[in-house]
Amino acid sequence: MRTTTRRLSIATAAVAATAIALTGCAAGSSAGTSTSAASTKAASGPAVDLSGVCPSTVVVQTDWNPEGEHGHLYEMLGPNPSIDASDKSVTGDLYANGKSTGVKLEIRAGGPAIGYSKVSSQMYQDKSITLGYVSTDEAVQFSGNLPTTAVFAENDTSPMVLMWDPKTYPKVDSIKGLGKALEKDGGVVRYFNGASYMTYLQQSGVLPKSVLDGSYDGTPSKFVAAGGKDAQQGFATAEPYIYQNQVAAWGKKVDYSLISSTGWNPYPEAMSVRSGDLQKLSPCLKKLVPVMQQADVDYLKSPGATNDLITKLVQQYNNGWTYDSKVGAFAAAQMVKLGIAKDTDGFIGSMDEQRMSDFVKKATPVFAGSGDVKSGLTTSDLYTNEFLDKSIGLGN
C-alpha cells in the first residue's frame, strides 16, 4: 500500500530547502462544492443499469490522495460531482458508456485522510465501504483477521522502483547490480522503514544488509545532498518526471528498476471486497467490474480530462499533497510503456493463479511475525477473476 511510501509531496511542503516546484497546489474549498467531471463522456455503448443490484452509492476507499494510478476510478464519475474537501471525498453519478448507471460513486482518499491506516482495516471499521484498494502483500499479511478478496487488478505490476543517478552508476541495470555498486562505493538505498518488499530483498540476497537505510522521509533532500552516491525508493509513474522537471535542486534524469523485477510482484491496489461480502455483492460485481475494466481502458487511452479532475481534487483537498496534470500524463504513459497496466490473457484486470501462488509462498515468511496470516492460506482466499469481461482490454 502507499501510506508509507507516497509521502514525497506532503513532506516536501514543509522543507523549503529542497526546492520542490510542483504546480497546482491551491487553497482548500469548503465541503460540498462541485466541479466539472473528467468529461461528459460520449455514449459509446449500451446503457448499464446498476440500480437494484448495487448499493445506491458505491463507496471506494483508496490508499492515497488522488493521482494518475487511480485514474480508472475518477474516469467513472459523471458530470459535476460533489467534492467534500473536509472528508477528502468526491461523489457523483457512476457513469458507463457515457450514461448514468443509476447509482452514485463515492471515492474516498486514503493515506493522510485516514490517518495512514491500512485500507483493509478501514474496510472492516466502516462497513459502508463497498470496495477498497488492497495490494496482494497487504491481503496476505492480514488474511487472518481482515480477509479481503480482489475482484479486479487495474494494474498488473506495481510501479514501485529503486532509483539511482545514472552518471554515478552508469553500468547498473538491475536492483541486484545496484546493491553491489552501492556496497562498493559506500552508498545506501533509502526507503521507508518497515517496507515489506525490503525485507524480501534482504532475505533473498538481492540487497546486502549493509546498504539498507530505512530513514527515507519522503523528501528529496538526502538524495540530492548525496550527489548521486545514494539510491532511493520511488515510483516509476512519478519520481523520474518529478526529479528531472520539478525538483530544482536535482533537475536531471534518474535511472530506476521496478521492484517487481526481483520476484516481489504483488498486484498493486487491487479492487477488493471484504471476503465475507463476496457472495452478497456478486450480482453487483457481475455488472460493475466490466464497467471498471472499460473505465481503466478509457483512462489509459485518453487520460487528459480525468487528470484535470484529479488535479482539481488535489487542490481542493489541500492537505499538502501536490499533483498536477503533467505528472498525471507521465503516469498514464508510464503505466502503458512499462507494462504496469496491460492486458493479460487478452483482457485487462485478471490475476494469474501461478503468480499468486508463488507470491503467497514468498510473502508468508516475510509476514510470519505479524501473526495475521491465515493458516493454510490459498490463492482462492485472495482473488477471483469470475466477474471480468474477457472482451475488454487495451488491445480491443
Identify whether the C-beta of residue 228 lies closer than 8 Å to the C-beta of residue 165: yes
End-to-end CA distance of the chain: 30
Phi, psi of 22 (to 5 degrees): -70, 140
List the grid coordinates of 360. 503467497
| CB-count burial class (<10 Å; 0-12, 13-18, 19+) for 245 | middle
pLDDT digits (tens, 9 = 90+) for 156-165: 999 999 999 9
Going along the chain from its start, the domains and CATH numbers come out as 31-157+266-381 (3.40.190.10), 160-262 (3.40.190)
CA dist 385 and 389 (Å) reads 9
3-state secondary structure of 317: helix
pLDDT digits (tens, 9 = 90+) for 12-70: 433 433 343 333 333 333 345 555 444 445 557 899 999 999 999 999 999 999 999 99
More confident position, 126 or 10 = 126
Give the pLDDT of residue 35.
Answer: 52
CA dist 7 and 325 (Å) reads 18
Identify whether the C-beta of residue 221 lies closer than 8 Å to the C-beta of residue 18: yes
Average pLDDT, the chain: 91
Identify whether the C-beta of residue 48 lies closer than 8 Å to the C-beta of residue 285: no
Q: What is the pTM of this model?
A: 0.91
Give the pLDDT of residue 208.
Answer: 98
pLDDT digits (tens, 9 = 90+) for 381-394: 999 999 999 999 99
Give the pLDDT of residue 32.
Answer: 52
Identify whether the C-beta of residue 274 lies closer than 8 Å to the C-beta of residue 130: no
Confidence of residue 8 (pLDDT cuts 50, 70, 90): low
List the grid coordinates of 150. 480482489
3-state secondary structure of 350: coil
Give the pLDDT of residue 306.
Answer: 97
Phi, psi of 286 (to 5 degrees): -60, -35
More confident position, 20 or 395 = 395
